[in-house]
A and B are shown apart, each in its own frame.
Chain A
């Protein structure tokens, strides 16, 4: 897919107009000229990226980082449709690949995530291993195979040699989490980070087969960015030591 020609022309005009005031200014030295950096990021990055944004604003006076969080594939369609994003962080490599024509730099993996079983805090189904998710009598919530967390669930089930017995195949990890934390489902498969973010609302159970489906998060700048330097700075910050500390605190594993 190619972006509509009109938006490319507009972006070109905008870039030319901005080139003059920006000339001679380093990315780190933007005092006095208010700039906004627009970051499109997968919904599972909501907590970490919000924190990273605040830290980035603190070290870059005059810069405002604004986020649009959503499903990776939704964000891809929006960017392809001409949405004014400077940076894109995806929850999987597949969606990042869809955007190859719009990338302003080579994508870099900055974190990874694995699946974990979650149950309601009192664990009414007495779930303790992945095998229990094949139990027809329990109410099981997973992601639909069409979305990334669902294909990961299918991969770990195959690695464990079981057939999942889902009662619902949800659209996203958050939906699975909601079904479990409300007690409607006895167990569900979500990312470690989501389980941790839910805190006491759910009970997390790790399982060895999760290693078979490691989800990698890539980030890239976008070709049509009005602030390529600032975008590159943010991308670098995500992979920096300070940035990585934020991911580790949220339960993400380092990029492989």
Chain B
């Protein structure tokens, strides 16, 4: 069974001093698929990638990557993976071509010069190929970084926030490259903070929060878990509590207050919630209305909704993900 999974981890733990970066990370990525690890800053995404690419050793738990044990067979794992990290890690003192040829040599590619020329062309870097990479734009360097990962086809490709800070053209290019790779059987594991990016690229998403996978599923499955974000604005503070009670009943979620605007909002669990439904319920309850809105869930909403059990029920407001992160 394990052979059908390109990445399979059980109970991975990693601690940095007092900080528990990973607390029992479980991943199962089938071969030839794209898995998006989605989570806020500090959730443990990068730590997970560093562990799975042999850069860090787990404190507990085990994992198999490309069919080999991460710790006992680290050298065999390295033969089958490629990593493009968050910061570009190519040598700026070398030209783009020299960088790719070096990687070609280290990966024992036959004809590194020909392969490098091929990749430079594919990534639209031929024109700048013989200039030092330090003179290139950030987007070009990121593309070169990815090209270096592909001088030979890896069994598993790790992409740590591959499109952060990239222009749309580069983003499309990376998306196409990922699709072509999976068509050839490569498994791709990418981390991202953007729901949209995971949506476009990933077959499956693993939601990571505080060092743990909290939910897994296809993008559609995850979205169906979270409904729209409803917000009600009332004329004065007196009726805010009544509006909140209605929202609570309709959405089944803890409402969050914006006292300055006399607004109360909640992320609905019910995807069938509509504005007329909302207005009717508020009207029946006799709540005066200034504004009612319903918008698609944002990443914040998904996290709020899916990790809602974590904050204690007594708190009046659930706050944003950012606020919870600061508090934690």
Asked whether A and B interact, the reply is: no
Q: Give chain A's interface residues, CB within 8 Å of chain B.
A: none
Q: Give chain B's interface residues, CB within 8 Å of chain A.
A: none
